[in-house]
Chain A
């Protein structure tokens, strides 16, 4: 099981381009095929990862690892997801003395990679909305309108106020208590 955790997060660490949110579908994919968490539990994990300082992908990995294998599981997941970047950064530092950002092959790779990452994040948003029973696919039947309104309020606050995501998560938690409790 620990070996499985290590391999899983090592693999994710290897391709974690474009900030942590793009990695959420990957983490979900692995977490589900290993039966580590349900998607709802994973959403809660991501909420906690977003509330805490540090990279969201690493935080989610640590949460999953802790849930599956306690402290040792958490340590293994943290190391596994950080290890590939460490190796790659060291290799680059070793071979590249002066970095040329323009016209290198890297910028070509990112030309195609970034739109895919964007699609992956949009997919993550749709997928999480479905898995949390907020929408049921493309149709408008059984839409949880209260949650949809919450999503748009939170999004508007992110876009138009300078409030940090941490505060928005806390406010939405408060709103949840007021509306549902």
Chain B
């Protein structure tokens, strides 16, 4: 790719995601329609039918879906510099906003009005966390096995001092093991069917 075009594209990536970022309240999901619009319509970076694939990747890897989508598209267009430009574009505005709010808070946290406001806000934060649990619980817990995994994990979190990362690893491994058994079972029944058919 010609160098000037490449630089122009990098700036384009940076500013496109820069502009979307400040409206991404409440995590990434709210901004998906905006993102889709920006990368398929305004800029013809990704084909409409490919965006679903991009979102699957963005959801399956760690990190925020919005940031991951930006990184993926940036990489597809200009390689690693593109991935970096897109990622920086999407995290810079929110970074500036949070630093500004943090410094404001640190200056005013001893103000009595601010303190009483935050007593109320603490309840809202807990409600937000419960809400997040309900939302992910709907897709995560759908049968006996998944409910048991969730309950056991919760008991361990509450009563055993264990690093959460370890439990996440265990969860992933248990998921694979359970499905391996299922796969083997399926193979067995297929074989049994064959045997019966022959007989």
Which residue, A82, A93, A122, has most C-beta atoms of chain B within 10 A? A122
Q: Is B43's beta carbon under 8 Å from chain A?
A: no
Q: Is B75's beta carbon under 8 Å from chain A?
A: yes
Whole-angstrom CA separation of A174 from B57 in the bound complex: 40
Contact: B103 with A55, CB < 8 Å? no
Q: Which residues of B contact A152 (CB under 8 A)?
A: 127
Q: Is B190's beta carbon under 8 Å from chain A?
A: no
Q: Nearest residue in B to A25 (C-beta to C-beta)?
A: B164
Q: Is B7's beta carbon under 8 Å from chain A?
A: no
| Minimum distance in angstroms from B170 CB to a CB of chain A | 7
Whole-angstrom CA separation of A62 from B143 in the bound complex: 38
Q: Which residues of A contact B118 (CB under 8 A)?
A: 44, 47, 173, 176
Contact: B176 with A154, CB < 8 Å? no
Contact: A67 with B131, CB < 8 Å? no
| Minimum distance in angstroms from B78 CB to a CB of chain A | 12
Contact: B140 with A66, CB < 8 Å? no
Whole-angstrom CA separation of A90 from B102 in the bound complex: 31
Contact: A118 with B133, CB < 8 Å? yes
- With known contacts A66-B103, A111-B146, A181-B113, A120–B120 Cβ distance under 8 A: no
Contact: B127 with A168, CB < 8 Å? yes
Q: Given B23, B105, B179, which contacts A53 in the complex, CB threshold below 8 Å?
A: B23
- With known contacts A57-B64, A85-B61, A93-B76, A151–B105 Cβ distance under 8 A: no
Give me the interface of B with A, judged by CB distance under 8 Å.
21-28, 53, 56-58, 60-64, 66-68, 71-72, 75-76, 80, 83-84, 87, 91, 93-95, 97-99, 101-103, 105-106, 109, 112-113, 116-134, 136-137, 139-141, 146-147, 149-151, 153-154, 157-158, 163-165, 167-168, 170-180
Beyond known contacts A59-B98, A148-B123, A172-B124: 14 more, CB 8 A cutoff: A48-B102, A55-B28, A55-B67, A67-B102, A67-B106, A82-B67, A85-B67, A89-B58, A113-B171, A120-B167, A122-B154, A154-B126, A177-B116, A180-B116
